[in-house]
Chains A and B, each alone.
Chain A
Amino acid sequence: MTNATAAIDARGLGKRYGHRWALADCTLTIPAGHVAGLVGPNGAGKTTLISLATGMLAPTTGTVEVLGGQPTGGSDQLARVGYVAQDTPTYAGLSVADHLRLGAHLNPRWDAALARRRIEQLGLDPRQKAAELSGGQRAQLALTLALAKRPELLILDEPIASLDPSARREFLQVLMHATAEQGLSVVMSSHLVADLERVSDYLIVLIASRVRIDGEVDGLLATHHLLTGPRREAASLPASQQVITQSHTGRQSTFLVRSSEPVIDPAWTVEEVSLEDLVVAYMGQASAGSPDIRMLEVRR
């Protein structure tokens, strides 16, 4: 890839609370120009990573750059990055119109027409107080605020986790539409892979502060295969096939392998994997405490 600036570039990034590391020695690069999904189990450090990348937290160790700049680099840098925080906070006492006014006063690139149009499309009453909105409407208001400042990068932290399925679908639709329209990069965290699958074209699986696997979704799906066949040991597979998970019955073995080459062994039944299967496989491997965890980080 030739793009010079990554959306998020973390080097040895860590955040400690007392004796507990919420994120430890995290090194990752999320390229710009994608709708990138950041997935991982609860406690993997997704929110901490995003809080560090948006400057809500100061790192204990390491550095993080966003679009090549410091997260709190100044008002210019702040204008380039939109952020929708977890639970999509809004000012309870302020009306919808007040929120738009807030955005207009605090952002030099504010797109008032876009904001107004969005509110109309959502059917929100501008005079309504944010406290009276439903969770889905609040999320939409927070998203509108982030989009109308015309950022180059939009960072969303589990924006849909607390929404009901229809509100979730609506939110993602709005997000996809806006992304296509404004041509912005998106980094969005979630532990719901099914939701990400619909919108993201880049995936990062973060487990215990480590990138377990990352890459473009198409590429990931093309290089992972589910093999079923007569029982055999993992060691007997070709070196080009990296075993992610395996299960054995008396006569049969099932392997999820990563291989850049097509699997041509006629003994195998080869199936494609879904994104969810893939993520679950990597997560399951982590919880099983596999000894070759470190090996999987090798992805150069």
Chain B
Amino acid sequence: MIWLTCRQFRPQAITAAGALIVMAIVLAVTGHGVGSAYTSSRLPACHANCATIASNFVDSIGSFDHVLYFGSILLMYLAPPLMGLFWGAPLIAREFEAGTHRIAWNQSVTRTRWAFVKLGLVGLAAAATAGLLSLMVTWWASPIDHAASLAGGSVQAAAGGVGVHSTWFVETWLEPAIFAARGVAPLGYAAFAFALGVTAGVLLRRTLPAMAVTLVVFAVIQVVVPNAVRPHLLPPAHATVPLNIQNGSIHVSTNAGSGLSGIQLTGSFAKPGAWVLSQVFYAGRRADPDIIITSSGPELMMAPQACIPTPGSGIRPADCRNALAVMHLRQSVTYQPASRFWPLQCIETGIYLLLAAGLGWACAWQVRRRRTP
């Protein structure tokens, strides 16, 4: 049975091995450049207030590496569903369509064994492919990820390429956009997508509808999990940060359209690499005063009367500070700290692997029941 499974899987295995080798070469060659740029930046020795150094480092990365950075993320997103679609869905559905299950099921091998060997070997190949791919990408992007984490959140940098004026963001490991493309999670996604494809194929008995169902279900799950499940896998941390007015000069800006005067505040939540799940601003007991986070920090959109410069005397700083102190402004944040990356990765991977195993078992059971045309 192992021989037959390997023989049937040969074309896909060659494709996967080829893709892995190409990726390995590309990442190995360019990864060296990224690594040396990281070493020559002052980031490895930086322990506090590294945001500027991190930005500079990200800024120094070549445009081809930008493309590779985002391309590799895209690849990590595409690889699991592709394996679900092209390895999982046809695995048994194709046999039903071609009628070849009637050959396979009449050899001196029980169909339970047939199903388990097919599921096990190809599923293992899917998980291994995604795992290796993720390993390479995680290694390659680790300097950039580290810079993003040290910068205290997202880094926005001018693109490094000559004559390119767009800006690009790098985000920390825990941000959902990056989380799914790093570490061991892709391995779990691939195993699950594969098992999902096989299950759809066994139930629908046709490859094309099974592929469509696999794609839709997997996409829905990949949207639901980071938003509704992952934040709660470990109890999130909470922090309440008082918002104060800046020492020294007071910055008040007046919006020309509305005529409202906003005032700059300091002291907003800053934990490098944390994944902020929700944040609420308070003024006394009142939630949600008109505070927004701008590029230069939080801003109270309706400054107290005492802070608005009058034509005669300008701002009276003492009154303004008092007025703000009375408001008791603060920011309440629910977040997952950066140190939770690996625990969250392991838990999520474990869940996906368990789901995959459950689906695999259901497939074998369904095949055993001979619910075929």
A residues bordering B, Cβ < 8 Å?
54-58, 72, 74-76, 78-79, 81-83, 85, 87, 89-94, 98, 101-103, 105-109, 142, 145-146, 149
Contact = CB atoms under 8 A, between A and B. Distances in A.
Given A94-B8, A101-B7, 6 more contacts: A78-B110, A89-B103, A90-B103, A102-B4, A102-B7, A107-B107
B254 interface: no
Interface in B81-112: 98-103, 105-111
B105 A56 contact: yes
Contact of A72 (B4, B101, B110): B110
B47 interface: no
B4 A89 contact: no
Contacts, number: 80
A141 B75 CA distance: 43
B99 A106 contact: no
Contact of B99 (A72, A85, A93, A146): A85
B1 interface: yes
Contact of A58 (B1, B98, B369): B369
Contacts of B111: 72
A75 B110 contact: yes
Contacts of A76: 108
A85 B108 contact: no
29 contacts: A54-B105, A54-B106, A55-B370, A56-B102, A56-B105, A58-B369, A72-B111, A75-B109, A76-B108, A79-B108, A83-B102, A83-B106, A85-B103, A85-B106, A89-B98, A89-B103, A90-B100, A90-B103, A91-B100, A93-B8, A98-B7, A101-B7, A102-B4, A105-B1, A105-B4, A106-B1, A107-B107, A109-B108, A149-B107
A103 B7 CA distance: 13
A149 B370 contact: no
Interface in B1-37: 1, 3-4, 7-8, 11
B371 interface: yes
Given A55-B370, A56-B372, A57-B372, A108 B99 contact: no
Contact of A142 (B8, B103, B108, B109): B103
A106 B107 contact: yes
A74 B105 CA distance: 11
B3 A56 contact: no
A120 to B, nearest CB: 22
Contacts of B113: 75
Contacts of A87: 99
Contacts of A94: 7-8
Contacts of B370: 55-58, 72
Contacts of B107: 78, 102-103, 106-107, 149
The 3 closest A-B pairs by CB, nearest first: A106-B107, A89-B99, A79-B108
Contact of A106 (B101, B102, B109): B109
Interface in B167-195: none
Given A58-B369, A106-B4, A82 B106 contact: yes
A66 B8 CA distance: 31
Max chain A Cβ within 10 angstroms of own Cβ: one of B11, B98, B105, B106: B106
Contact of A85 (B3, B11, B102, B110): B102
A92 B98 contact: yes
Contacts of B106: 54, 78, 81-83, 85, 146
A103 B106 CA distance: 10
A275 to B, nearest CB: 29
B1 A89 contact: no
A89 B100 contact: yes
Contacts of A81: 106
Contacts of A78: 106-110
A91 B99 contact: no
B3 A101 contact: yes
A212 to B, nearest CB: 27
B114 to A, nearest CB: 9
A57 B367 CA distance: 10
A268 to B, nearest CB: 49
Interface in B328-373: 369-372
A102 B372 CA distance: 23
Nearest to B103: A89
A91 B4 CA distance: 11
A147 B348 CA distance: 50
Given A91-B103, A94-B7, A149 B371 contact: no
Interface string B100-135: 111101111111010000000000000000000000
B372 A74 contact: no
Contacts of A103: 107
A92 B94 CA distance: 11
Nearest to B102: A85
Contacts of B109: 75, 78, 106
Interface string B295-323: 00000000000000000000000000000
Contacts of B103: 85, 89-91, 142, 145
Contacts of A142: 103
Contacts of B369: 58
A92 B7 CA distance: 13
Max chain B Cβ within 10 angstroms of own Cβ: one of A106, A107, A109: A106
A149 B104 CA distance: 13
A89 B102 contact: yes
Nearest to B114: A106
A55 B113 CA distance: 15
A75 B112 CA distance: 11
